[in-house]
């Protein structure tokens, strides 16, 4: 079946790992089924929505490789939503309510005190025309609720299996606020019908909302899409991520040097039975995507796991895949192959360029041994020089093991750890090696 899916962010903030996981899974489903991935900008909240956030969302998706086939803004479709509103009013399924937020809160508290579920009592349905006019003359403006059937709504969820929502246990949802602004529910249904969305994949916190929306689809004579509700992300400590979403924005991760492929590799597998591994190709991830592999337990997002995956991804990247990003730094394939196994961020390349091409202050331990080593450095340094040099120094001085190798590394690179010395020496060159072994800045 060709899948038509949508990702529907509100441009009121930055994209974070939670909503990007939903975007990614929808994208993977669409690509696996030769389908269409639609970006719907939910900007009906005119006060909080900004073009800056909208552009940032699009930039983040592009950076991640999640290119959308179509896009549209809900703010340009109010006429469509107005028509749906009028249809529901004419059918007696959308009715005006005049209670204030405080009055509704008191009602809920009384219901709880009596051991009743805090479900709206539909008092507004009993108002006659004169009573409504009297309330409006007080300056009250109505909010509008959708009248649920009270029936059990069921569907076969691609992740949860057979799922039911008893609408008797749910308050009639507010579809339009007192200020006239549409809430998420009605515009989403109208758009899903018109754009022929086949699958809606989103967090399990929307399960009850899905039961409501299925009734709205039916009321608008539209076909409901198939649904899949995935578990939500939690932190490594088992707590929710809501308080940390700013630090977990895609923008913040990009600025921290995390690769796009590391993010998609991790989020594609979190909450599934598949192992997490570095995958540079989104096509590979889409081929592997399957509802059958998705579990229902909360998925733990651990930033340290992302960092580790980022390093593994860089270690495996061939030069051809990264050359265009390194061109400004004048990094050769030989240099890349020498250092990539020691990178955790691509920015770490700068440190090794400094070690190889710049000047460093050598760390001198056992100056006498290092002076001997400086005399033994050959004119032509190649991949065999490290083995030959260390063997010659060992033979001349009697120093061996860690006491031999560590002082040589510290003097030549200024670092305790790093790439294989056999690969570094030809890049550094004989002159710099001699200077550093002699304790001179070079």
Express each pLDDT in 319-349 by its tens digit: 999 999 998 888 999 999 999 999 999 999 9
Supply the pLDDT for residue 36.
Answer: 98
What mean pLDDT do residues 423-431 have? 96
How far are the Cα atoms of 35, 56, 247, 272, 315 from residue 232, in angstroms, in the given order? 25, 23, 18, 12, 30
All domains in the chain, ordered by first residue? 1-73+231-316 (3.40.50.620), 80-176 (3.90.800.10), 322-442 (1.10.10.350)
pTM: 0.92
- Other C-beta atoms within 10 Å of 160: how many? 17
Supply the pLDDT for residue 246.
Answer: 61
List residues bridging with 240 in a β-sheet: 234
Supply the pLDDT for residue 241.
Answer: 74
Supply the pLDDT for residue 155.
Answer: 98
Is the pLDDT at 243 greater than 70? The verdict is no
What mean pLDDT do residues 343-365 have? 94
The separation between CA 197 and the C-alpha centre of its own chain, rounded to angstroms, equals 22
What mean pLDDT do residues 431-437 have? 96
Is the pLDDT at 440 greater than 70? The verdict is yes
**How is residue 273 written in tokens?**
């039975």
Supply the pLDDT for residue 261.
Answer: 97
Supply the pLDDT for residue 248.
Answer: 87
- Those residues with Cβ within 8 angstroms of residue 86's Cβ, 6 or more apart along the chain or in another chain: none
Question: What integer best gives the mean pLDDT of the chain?
Answer: 95
pLDDT over 90 percentage in the chain: 94
Contact indicator for 439, 365 with CB cutoff of 8 Å:
no
Supply the pLDDT for residue 237.
Answer: 82
d(CA 423, CA 442): 19
Is the pLDDT at 242 greater than 70? The verdict is no
Express each pLDDT in 129-138 by its tens digit: 999 999 999 9
Is the pLDDT at 244 greater than 70? The verdict is no
The helix (run of H) or strand (run of E) holding residue 199 is: strand 199-203
What mean pLDDT do residues 279-304 have? 95
Select from 35, 45, 34 the least CA-distant residue to 9. Answer: 45
Contact indicator for 343, 311 with CB cutoff of 8 Å:
yes
SS3 201: strand
Supply the pLDDT for residue 245.
Answer: 58
d(CA 266, CA 233): 12
Express each pLDDT in 48-105 by its tens digit: 999 999 999 999 999 999 999 999 999 999 999 999 999 999 999 999 999 999 999 9
d(CA 200, CA 223): 12
């Amino acid at each position: 079946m060709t899948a038509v899916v949508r990702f529907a962010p509100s441009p009121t903030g930055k994209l974070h790992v939670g909503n990007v996981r939903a975007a990614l899974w929808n994208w993977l489903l669409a690509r696996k089924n030769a389908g269409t991935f639609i970006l719907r900008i939910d900007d009906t909240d005119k006060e909080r929505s900004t073009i800056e956030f909208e552009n940032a969302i699009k930039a983040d998706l592009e950076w991640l490789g999640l290119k959308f086939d179509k896009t549209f803004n809900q703010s340009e479709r109010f006429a469509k939503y107005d028509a749906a509103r009028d249809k529901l009013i004419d059918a007696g399924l959308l009715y005006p309510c005049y209670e204030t937020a405080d009055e509704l809160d008191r009602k809920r508290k009384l219901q709880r005190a009596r051991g009743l579920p805090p479900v709206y009592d539909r008092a507004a349905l009993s108002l006659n025309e004169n009573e409504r006019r009297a309330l409006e003359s007080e300056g009250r403006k109505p909010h509008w609720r959708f009248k649920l059937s009270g029936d059990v709504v069921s569907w076969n969820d691609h992740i949860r299996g057979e799922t039911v929502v008893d609408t008797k246990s749910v308050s009639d949802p507010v579809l339009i606020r007192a200020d006239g602004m549409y809430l998420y529910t009605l515009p989403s249904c109208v758009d899903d019908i018109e754009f022929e969305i086949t699958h809606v994949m989103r967090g399990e916190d929307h399960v009850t909302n899905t039961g409501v929306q299925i009734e709205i689809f039916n009321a608008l004579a539209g076909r409901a899409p198939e649904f899949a509700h995935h578990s939500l992300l939690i932190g490594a400590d088992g707590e929710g991520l809501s308080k940390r979403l700013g630090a977990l924005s895609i923008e913040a991760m990009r600025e921290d040097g995390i690769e796009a492929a590391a993010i998609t590799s991790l989020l594609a597998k979190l909450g599934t039975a598949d192992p997490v591994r570095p995958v540079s190709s989104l096509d590979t991830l889409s081929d592997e995507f399957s509802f059958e592999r998705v579990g229902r337990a909360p998925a733990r997002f651990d930033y340290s796991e992302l960092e580790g995956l980022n390093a593994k991804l860089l270690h495996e990247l061939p030069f051809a895949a990264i050359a265009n990003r390194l061109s400004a730094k004048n990094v050769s394939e030989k240099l890349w192959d020498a250092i990539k196994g020691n990178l955790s961020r691509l920015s770490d390349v700068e440190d090794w360029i400094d070690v190889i091409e710049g000047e460093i202050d050598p760390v001198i331990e056992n100056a006498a041994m290092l002076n001997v080593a400086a005399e033994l450095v050959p004119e032509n340094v190649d991949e065999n020089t490290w083995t030959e040099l260390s063997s010659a120094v060992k033979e001349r001085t009697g120093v061996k093991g860690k006491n031999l190798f560590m002082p040589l590394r510290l003097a030549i690179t200024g670092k305790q750890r790093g790439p294989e010395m056999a690969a570094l020496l030809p890049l550094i060159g004989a002159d710099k090696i001699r200077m550093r072994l002699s304790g001179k800045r070079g």
